Amino acid sequence: MKKKVFSLKEEYKKCFEYISQSKKFIFLIIGVFFIFSLIGFFVPIPEFLYNKILEIIKEILLETENLSSVELIFYIIFNNIKSSFFGIIFGFIFGILPLIIAIANGYILGFVSLLSVNSEGFLSLWKLFPHGIFELPAIFISLGLGLKFGTFVFQKNKQKSFKDYLLNSLRIFLLVVIPLLIVAGIIEGILIFLN
């Protein structure tokens, strides 16, 4: 029996095929994310929620305030990788967690954008743009795959679907999502450090 040789090209081909097959789930996540970004930006926020989000932001600022640029980059990359991984893995529970992450992240982005615009004007939003080019696609792909993962329960062969969805999602996580998040983390860390 001929031994199968590992081919990175073949692995990437499988990644992009599965992303293409999952695009409706990825687009659904993008839609949810942007709807809640707009809500976070335009809809007045209840005071308790306003204070809670500010509390979360202050905690992150405290955690990162004395970090060197390299430590900051690692902090950003690790947090984004962890969030993406959980978005995929815990998607098996009917895809609920990926939706919650998309709603929360979208809302917080809208809220933070509003704070930024109020203090520095609309041009301040351009600061979010450079790392978003790499980070957002990685997050959307992860959450979309997590959402699709949750649909294995509706398939005829649940066990096979669970295994296929999991293996394909993990392949994409390793070969597509992590590299995108590393680039995003480096850009974000450098931009924050330069400010």
For residue range 161-194, list pLDDT tens digits in order. 999 999 999 999 999 999 999 999 988 888 776 7
pTM higher than 0.85 = yes
- pLDDT tens for 82-138 read 999 999 998 878 788 999 999 999 998 898 888 888 887 776 677 667 667 889 999
**CA-CA distance, 41 to 98, in Å (whole number)?**
21
Torsion angles phi and psi, residue 44, rounded to 5: -55, 140
CA torsion 158→27→9→87, rounded to 10°?
A: -60
Q: Which sign, positive or negative, has the C-alpha torsion 124, 117, 76, 32?
A: negative
Q: 191 near 132, Cβ under 8 Å? A: no
CA 143 to chain centre: 7
